[in-house]
């Protein structure tokens, strides 16, 4: 599975406005967004958040982070771990289908894992 085909599967879900694959330092590998100017900023902000959550999980001995869903008033941000160093991000409008997008992200991350090992 190529990066682009993995993101295309997610983009087909109703309401998806952004998809990206990035490393934990916030550097995008590939991305797509209805508003391209927002992609890098979202990745940078959420990679910082992701590092803090990962640290908290380690402190509390909760195990490796698999997926985070942040539901805000207008959009839902889905962050799915591909490997320890890379994650997949999708942003979905609340009137879209965040559940289907969440499943598509989990499936894509599983399929992409071999590309990052």
CATH number of 3-116: 3.30.450.30
pLDDT in tens, 30-44: 999 988 888 999 999
Distance CA(37)–CA(110), nearest Å, equals 28
Q: Within a 10 A sphere around the Cβ of 25, how many other Cβ atoms?
A: 11
Domain ranges (residues) in the chain: 3-116
pLDDT in tens, 37-96: 889 999 999 999 999 999 999 999 999 999 999 999 999 999 999 998 999 999 999 999
Cα–Cα distance for residue pair 41/69, rounded to 1 Å: 18
**Euclidean distance between CA atoms 45 and 35, whole angstroms:** 16
């Amino acid at each position: 599975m190529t990066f682009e085909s993995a993101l295309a599967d997610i983009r087909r879900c109703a309401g998806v406005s952004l998809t990206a694959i990035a490393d934990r330092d916030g550097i995008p590998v590939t991305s797509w967004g209805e508003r391209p100017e927002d992609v890098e900023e979202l990745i940078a902000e959420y990679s910082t958040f992701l590092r803090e959550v990962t640290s908290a999980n380690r402190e509390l001995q909760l195990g490796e982070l698999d997926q985070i869903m942040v539901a805000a008033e207008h959009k839902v941000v889905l962050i799915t771990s591909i490997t320890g160093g890379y994650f997949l991000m999708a942003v979905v409008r609340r009137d879209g289908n965040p559940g289907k997008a969440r499943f598509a992200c989990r499936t894509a991350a599983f399929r992409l894992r071999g590309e990052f090992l």
